[in-house]
Structure 1
């Protein structure tokens, strides 16, 4: 069966008055153009007036049937209108065909896979300026995640508000873990492996050339089997994930995971080819790796039953995910979208510690896998955020390696070197107010000093958690913000994968009761998330220092990562300077992790503490002069958390956040089903 023309997209990316970017993945090389329309609406009809535009196309050929296209649309004269409904169509031409989105049935309102809303002829959007922004934000979306996909639920919001720009979402922020490279469902793994090789073609990566130990017969077999990669990832890549049985390795595999996450096309292909098999079929074909031997009947039978149960459960979750994927595609086609990575986009524990980096980056296969994850991030996420960051040399280095995928060649060495030396993944999105997206993964520093921890009668020293952005990183971020012409005293939105202010009850419990087990040699930092800003006060205080330097009138921090949602307000006085910080956290979009008894217990504990007033904390902090740039820091925090309708300050179900500026208020909502539930309105510069 042939690949579909469009593998994923169109996805609306960076939009501003001077240019608009649209991203597409196609299976063929095309000359791509676009039309842009101003849409005038009234109660009875809609008029579509052509805008005179220039269209520039950049295409990266990543494989025989994988072309990543970024389309830049600029006005022929002046600038595009702001706060005005716009529509677009895309045309594709090569020697064999000339088609547009209508020919592909994507503009047909009778088609369930249509990317248009209501009675519009085209996908629509607007460039937000004076109109109060409505920003969707969230993180953590796994193919076989538990619960409904809340990103798909945003489709209901857009359908209701498509013609009302005061209510319509003006942007979508995806704050990390857009894919789970380290946690791949058993039923979809064979399809990912096989289709990735077809997408890339005969020149796909030779992993044996990267790691000769893969020549060993047992590892060679495990590489292609369901649940066969755990040993490879732990011992050849030096990764620390305990759930790496089907971990992605090649660029093609990462690419397929993105395509499955954003588009129905490969799902349709899988159905057409009956590529997703039943457990019994996969087992009978000897395509599942077992840790036990068949000669040990009891142990093997127990593992067989466990694998079969998990396979069936994951298959149900995948089927639920697939049912809503067309709605996700429509959301992405109609909403300017900005994306930043977190660990699972590459692998669990990515750059968690200096020891992790040392182990992985001296491992040829580990470094190769990280390079593939970064490269895939650029192709599928990073390129559309702020395209000017990636110059022609960056693009050509990728293109040269993708031409033949020759491991060890000069093109390969240059490609790896470029990815690991690149320090401009952070960016500023052109929203109003401006939005600064932080890279908390590659700009890290690691504190060489040790800290004392106490566990029962034991006292020992362990390494500190990472500084999420180091001194050099803040310098780079500071320069970028200046280049974006953001001015001191303006409001500032900051996207940080992990919250600056978390739920302190949870963070304190982990820090005081779980993290000390490291002193006994228990690798709890690899099992639980110890990457909060507050776990390293040097890193936390450096964030506050930057805010003190920038002096935003109000700081709104949007975060995900933690798999629950909450809203906090911090009034901070640092060295006699006042900071007003709103922490809005939404996670997960599709990976419900606190269900059942544990989730209920967590909510109960937090709720009880809320009733006792422990959701509000006033505290003083001092950092001695040896800790940070020879500067003595002192600050006072007054932190409060906002409750939702049932009185809890925590939401553990799948959710998607909605940030709205209305007059002098910030309104925070959570999309928990087709209806958004408010946390309430927060007056600027006042306590919640």
Structure 2
């Protein structure tokens, strides 16, 4: 009999339907809540995404493989997994980013602490948003490195980093197999988007970074395997049943006979191509959560790296602008990278972007600094950052409260944006990172200083001395932070009222708990 290797993961949920993802160790038929799907095969591994329609109210479910119950596990201490349709005008969205697998050096895991509290008691969230670095392909655990060493020589590049699809599959299994987190992912709908460590630190920082990566003996297979794994483990679960039915790659995979790895290898190779400022694949997606529209923005693979650089292609930005429109009361933009950075860092990135265009030694030094100091957030793509600011300004003018939800930077802060003319609704940057990692201690005082207003004014003056840098279309003030430590955030929407709860993980790694930080009322 086939066995359940990973999952179930409850992914898409709306008012009447849901999808549940699983990985098994052999071909089989998977049944969830009366709905069935056959597994598809990729490089000898087996997966299914079960589409469940006609969900009427909260529904407890089990998972059956060829008719036998394989989930919940016998003697599980957790409540039954359930599907809860998304209805009503209130909304609770839990979000965060940057989670390494279990490791005492990173302190207590905020996501595991949240799962344990929810299992015991607590207000059930409507969805979980994982905003990047679900796995660390370039910073593997000792256990992962030992597993890699059993299949190849880690004395040769890329060493203990992930090299191909099979290693990515093991990496995801390590990240999502701890009992508390596995149960949480089975019962709370989860949407995801990737960031650099899902592939490689500084992934797509610049054209020179890509050129250097391409010259290595291992990068092409690493990126190919990473995008194949992302499509399977993260991306298809972000899509609605209608979007899945319309997706050519998904249809080709689930209807094919035999192993579909060649289909996904060709898809992955096409996804990284940049042709005349365009990308062949859009990883960004849209979800409607009751009174709010959520746009998950791909700030990594969608980048255009030839001049004029862009965080996204113009075509993808057109899609985002079109999907931001509507009669929803709240617009939520999920960007793994913060749009509004600590001001000193923001101004420095704008200056560095211009310096990178200089010919000769100055340009090469600026490019070295860009890559060494990770100066590749939204402000380092000012054309894109300013376009996003205009989009957000229009949305707020129309009466939508706008929240940009982000991670990546290993500290927590809340900031409010201000435009030249007052807007009808307010705009916020909410940054929550990490869930299970750490900012290096020497960086913490630098992050604090980067918010210091007198220093920010100096860097703004330096930035505007360049005739090539336009004045910023937005200013912002910090409402909370920076905080450090493993943290998880909950965005609460009730009608027009919006607030964010921040909670920091405390205790030991075996039994983490959450300690409340101040609740910030946004609206």
Aligned-pair CA distance for 1:58? 5.1
Query: 2:483 aligned to 651, 660, 670, which one?
Result: 651
The 2-side partners of 1:131 and 1:396 are apart by: 34
Task: Mark the CA change 1:636 to 1:254 in structure 2 (over 3 Å): closer, same or farther.
Answer: closer
The 2-side partners of 1:414 and 1:533 are apart by: 27
8 Å contact kept, 1:606–1:650:
no
Task: Mark the CA change 1:593 to 1:634 in structure 2 (over 3 Å): closer, same or farther.
Answer: closer
Q: Which residue number in structure 2 is paired with residue 132 of structure 1?
A: 90
The 1-side partners of 2:230 and 2:180 are apart by: 23
Deviations 1:622-650 (A, max 9, x none): 9x9999xxxxx97754422123xxxxx21
1:86 corresponds to 2:42? no
Aligned-pair CA distance for 1:442? 2.5
Task: Mark the CA change 1:599 to 1:402 in structure 2 (over 3 Å): closer, same or farther.
Answer: farther
The 1-side partners of 2:424 and 2:401 are apart by: 10
Aligned-pair CA distance for 1:508? 4.1
Q: Which residue number in structure 1 is paired with residue 508 of structure 2?
A: none
Q: Which residue number in structure 2 is paired with residue 148 of structure 1?
A: 108
Q: What RMSD over aligned residues (CA atoms) do the two structures have, in Å? A: 3.7
Structural mapping, 1:345-424, within 5 Å: 345-360=198-213, 365-387=218-240, 388-390=242-244, 391=246, 393-395=248-250, 403=259, 413=266, 416-417=269-270, 420=273, 422-424=280-282
Deviations 1:58-105 (A, max 9, x none): 5221244x2111111001xxxx44xx53322222217xxx23425x41
8 Å contact kept, 2:42–2:261:
no
Q: Which residue number in structure 1 is paired with residue 30 of structure 2?
A: 32
Query: 2:498 aligned to 648, 666, 677, which one?
Result: 666
8 Å contact kept, 2:137–2:162:
yes
Q: Which residue number in structure 2 is paired with residue 569 of structure 1?
A: 416
Task: Mark the CA change 1:625 to 1:131 in structure 2 (over 3 Å): closer, same or farther.
Answer: same
Secondary structure of 2:411's counterpart equals coil
Task: Mark the CA change 1:58 to 1:676 in structure 2 (over 3 Å): closer, same or farther.
Answer: farther
> Which residues of structure 1 form unaligned runs of 5+?
36-53, 198-223, 234-244, 264-324, 450-465, 628-632, 644-648
The 2-side partners of 1:394 and 1:636 are apart by: 39
1:57 corresponds to 2:45? no
8 Å contact kept, 1:19–1:73:
yes
8 Å contact kept, 1:32–1:57:
yes
More deviation in 348-357 or 376-385?
348-357
Q: Which residue number in structure 2 is paired with residue 537 of structure 1?
A: 382
Task: Mark the CA change 1:683 to 1:416 in structure 2 (over 3 Å): closer, same or farther.
Answer: closer
Q: Which residue number in structure 2 is paired with residue 22 of structure 1?
A: 20
8 Å contact kept, 1:172–1:335:
yes
8 Å contact kept, 2:411–2:484:
yes
Deviations 1:549-603 (A, max 9, x none): 44451101100011111011112236x86663111000111111233xx256346
Query: 2:320 aligned to 456, 470, 477, which one?
Result: 477
Structural mapping, 1:330-349, within 5 Å: 330-349=183-202
Query: 2:69 aligned to 91, 99, 102, which one?
Result: 99
Q: Which residue number in structure 1 is paired with residue 276 of structure 2?
A: none
Report the number of matched residues.
495
TM-score by length of 2: 0.83
Aligned-pair CA distance for 1:125? 4.3
The 1-side partners of 2:217 and 2:327 are apart by: 45
Aligned-pair CA distance for 1:511? 6.4
The 2-side partners of 1:394 and 1:444 are apart by: 21
Task: Mark the CA change 1:640 to 1:522 in structure 2 (over 3 Å): closer, same or farther.
Answer: closer
The 1-side partners of 2:342 and 2:366 are apart by: 27
The 2-side partners of 1:172 and 1:401 are apart by: 34
Query: 2:284 aligned to 410, 426, 433, which one?
Result: 426
Task: Mark the CA change 1:392 to 1:487 in structure 2 (over 3 Å): closer, same or farther.
Answer: closer
> Which residues of structure 2 form unaligned runs of 5+?
274-278, 357-361, 506-512
